[in-house]
Structure 1
């Protein structure tokens, strides 16, 4: 009779959840510091390779098995580009022209983009009127953040903000793609994360002669920032997040979305001395209201028993199979 692996304690899950929010909220600070000595492509290249190496070590340590189906590998390659390469490049380029705090705020629009992609592009979910209202509210929040009444900086700020929206659109596309094409692969959370990051790293390696071979100016802060961004933010934090998802379920675990902008804005102001305009936190609050509506989370207490009887919610099904809870802790 073999021993089954013990589930992490609730205290351990709470610690991992908080650490995940701190690390992901710090990612925009790490990118900003990394850009002091590296190009945007070099930052994306470094974080993907370091993340893949970190997750690969965990796969070897746990003796996980990789899928054999070429179809699964093909879909994971698509996700490696859409969920890693493209958004990482877009965020890194945009961070040259905007504050790290603003980047963390825009990252929080991912649930809005997911609702749009799932309902209007992939048609894997029928959008209800309340969800459509949430999308409109989220768009309004983005407009408050952009602040067109202050004048549009077409040279830097607006294109950078549009690039960050493009990055979160990639995330939304990827989450919907996962539901449509990678819903029953049987992969563990760790293997899913490793293939996602690893194949993205492989694509960046192929693009090295085109994007990455440029002069670099390494310093201790730049090296430490890139190591933290890759090994922690693109590696270990994925495992922490998966543990929280399996212990709590996607609804509670996804509240990390609300933690990361707070960390990102605070670090940008404290460490880098970045300014914060009134419209940015106000717009973020409007975006969060749109997320609550788009994910149909209002009146959640009244619907708890009905939801349990009905089974998984549409929001749950937007999570990749590797991110769905394996059972109650």
Structure 2
């Protein structure tokens, strides 16, 4: 999966729904092609890249006035509202069954509540540019975990090389040769832990929710609702109600939720259905570039040579870990 926040969730839920639909369709029954929307998929791809790339800037601006848990709660409220509206328009129903809701509760924690909160806390002490680059390490963590948890995934020389290259890029971003001078390691650890949470959640969803018979929109809407409930319980325990509500940070939180957690999910579903998950997931490699450009140009964050160079190395390694050997290549002389 691609791993800026919802990207992992989107692709897994789409795959779950597709597997179920395929299983329920007789072999001789033609499958109706996905109806194209009015906007070209390339334009929607660009919009999605911008939305997710700017998410880290929105988080940073939001934390200027609100506590990280409050930013996350607001994000989930606005995102859930968008998906609820989409479900109402399409007349989708929430999933049924206690078992399904139990698994969705865990998925909501791993794919939404935990990583969203960790990224918000990390940006109290690290630039949004670094948070965006840490997010790009999710495919690297995903490969390590999938080799352990998913028996169908097998290591190849290319993927192992990509893993090593990716983590070399992380060390470059962190300036390991300088002893990580000038970096808040707690904030960096939180951002890296957030990126690790996505593949853990992906593997959990893949193992527990495949074949449930519910649509991807229904599953994701329920998951975001549960994550909202989780943050609604936690936030009052660790924060106090703000005495004032500055407009700019409030708008940033609203944009983060409505665009980055609501509209972006719907855009990604459409892309996965129209052009396939492989092409749709390429948005992952644009996110840190946009996040870095936005942080430097708009927030005035500093940028040393090691940050963009390390980011390129991370993305190259991540691309290698996602590559697959083409049929017939193995064993060819």
* Interval of TM-score (by shorter of Structure 1 and Structure 2): 0.7 to 0.9
How much does 1:214 deviate? 4.2
Contact 1:31 1:92 (C-alpha < 8 Å) held by counterparts: yes
CA shift at 1:179, angstroms? 1.5
5+ residue gaps, structure 2, are 1-31
Does residue 191 (structure 1) correspond to residue 218 (structure 2)? The answer is yes
Distance 2:103 2:181 in 1: 38
- 1:248 aligns to 2:287 (yes or no): no
Alpha-carbon RMSD:
2.1
What are the superposed Cα offsets for residues 214-237 of structure 1, whole Å, 9 maximum, x if unpaired?
Answer: 435422211110110011111111
Alignment partner for residue 99 of structure 2, among 71, 74, 83?
A: 71
Alignment of structure 1 residues 20-169 onto 2, 5 Å: 20-121=48-149, 123=151, 125-152=153-180, 157-169=184-196
Closer, same or farther in 2 for the Cα pair 1:41/1:24, shift >3 Å? same
Decide whether the 8 Å contact of 1:38 with 1:217 is kept in 2. no
TM-score normalised according to structure 1 size: 0.85
Tell me the distance in 2 between the aligned counterparts of 1:57 and 1:261.
30
Cα displacement (A) at 1:124: 5.4
Instruction: Determine the C-alpha separation between the residues in 1 that align with 2:33 and 2:228.
Output: 30
Matched residues in 1 for 2:124 and 2:235: separation? 21
Paired positions, count:
298
Instruction: Return closer, same or farther for 1:64/1:235 CA change in 2, 3 Å cut-off.
Output: same
Do structure 1's residue 267 and structure 2's residue 294 form an aligned pair? yes
C-alpha contact 1:124 1:180 (8 A) present in aligned 2: no
Shift in alpha-carbon separation, 1:5–1:122, aligned structure 2, 3 A: closer
* Other structure's SS at 2:242 match: coil
Match of 1:219 in 2: 246
Superimposed CA distance per residue, residues 97-122 of structure 1 (whole angstroms, 9 cap, x where no aligned partner): 11111111111111111111211245
115-124 vs 273-282, greater mean Cα deviation: 115-124
Deviates more, 1:45-54 or 1:183-192: 183-192
Counterpart position of 1:293:
320
In the alignment, is the contact (CA less than 8 A) between 1:109 and 1:138 conserved in 2? yes
Gaps of 5+ in 1: 308-329
**Structure 2: distance between partners of 1:215 and 1:66:** 33
| Secondary structure of the structure 2 residue equivalent to 1:207 | helix
> Structure 1 CA distance, aligned partners of 2:133 and 2:199?
16
| Mapped contact 2:94–2:221 kept (Cα < 8 A) | no
Give, in angstroms, the shift of residue 5 of structure 1.
Answer: 10
Using structure 2 for the length normalisation, give the TM-score. 0.84
The equivalent residue for 1:314 is none
Q: Does 1:170 align with 2:197?
A: yes
